[in-house]
Amino acid sequence: MAEAARRLADARTFFGTHDPMPQYALPMTWVALGIAAAEDRLPDARAELLTTLDTGLPPGTQRYGWPLLLTATTAEADAHGAPATEPGRPEILERIRKAAKTLATGVPVWQAYDAWLRAELLRAEGRTDPDAWSAAVEAFEPLERPFDLARVRFRLAEALLASGTGDDERARATELLRLVTAVADHLGAAPLARSATLLARRARLALAPARREPAPADPAESLGLTSRERDVLRLVTAGHTNRRIAEELFISPKTASVHVSNILAKLGVSGRGEAAAVAHRLGLFATTQTRERLGAGH
């Protein structure tokens, strides 16, 4: 954190303090807020947030505003229950709700952030609501943002385990945490992987799949992939669009799209990023480009 703070100070020096542009000021506030929260300095995190909210979030700043509001809310949620942090929380959460209304838009990615923020606000109030987290997961599943999807899946698993101890909740939480750890390990997201592992350990969930007969020499064969689907999956793993895949394989984009849909169904995943993660885990097409593709969230 000390290094992050030094880099932030340098950035603020470089970009100046007078009339900073939103695309510079808001990300720096976001980083400052995150550092303060990570160091358990919630009053400082709140001060960073309120300084920005007092001047208002400029129109068209969803790209910077949503992560800022989400980080502030997460800090409040993580500190919920600590007596020193409770005073002022209702007012802070209400300010965040009002600010979120100014960022509302019909763009799917920002609608997903809206659903995420709503669920996080409930957590900050000490309320466990699996339905809210399910809505966030559903909003992110078609967006091919594997890290964000893994984070909301983790919270859904946490909410399921907190709200019930039945077999259905535990089974669903187990599968969610398996997906989270697979993506987190692939992306090198050590804190998320560690959180998922600790949650599973506390709930006594076994994340390792049950022992089975040795897999076929060719993992793709066990998945039921045709040779053409293997070719398509290789290109998906490399980060290519359907149009690029069509050009590479001399097929139509529509046919490429059908192949991709079939592959997702056979792998039991909801997006191209997860399909690439599965391919990497099985050692089908493990490349540096895969990691870069997933890390970019495309």
Residue 147 pLDDT grade (very low, low, confident, very high; cuts 50, 70, 90): very high
The CATH number covering residue 285 comes to: 1.10.10.10
What is the distance between the alpha carbons of residues 28 and 15, in angstroms, rounded to a whole number?
10
In sequence order, the 6+-apart residues with CB closer than 8 A to the CB of 186 are 277, 280, 281, 290, 291, 294
Q: Are residues 265 and 201 in the same domain?
A: no
Residue 254 pLDDT grade (very low, low, confident, very high; cuts 50, 70, 90): confident
- Of the residues 152, 186, 211, which one is the last residue of a structural domain? 211
Report the domain count for the chain.
3
Share of the chain above pLDDT 90, in %: 38
* Mean pLDDT across the chain: 84
Which two tokens mark 100? Answer: 């979120």
Residues 14-64 have pLDDT tens digits of 776 666 778 878 888 888 888 888 888 899 999 999 999 988 888 899 999
- Of the residues 195, 211, 227, which one is the last residue of a structural domain? 211
Look at residue 157 in the predicted model and tell me its pLDDT: 94
Q: Are residues 146 and 171 in the same domain?
A: yes
DSSP 220-279: HHHTT--HHHHHHHHHHHTT--HHHHHHHHT--HHHHHHHHHHHHHHHT-SSHHHHHHHH
Asked if the model's pLDDT at residue 1 lies above 70, the reply is: no
User: What pTM value is reported for the model?
Assistant: 0.68
Per-residue pLDDT, averaged over 76-82, amounts to: 84
Residue 155 pLDDT grade (very low, low, confident, very high; cuts 50, 70, 90): very high
| Domain span including residue 254 | 219-296
- Of the residues 191, 211, 231, which one is the last residue of a structural domain? 211
Residues 200-221 have pLDDT tens digits of 999 999 887 655 455 455 666 6
Q: Are residues 16 and 95 in the same domain?
A: yes
Q: Are residues 207 and 289 in the same domain?
A: no
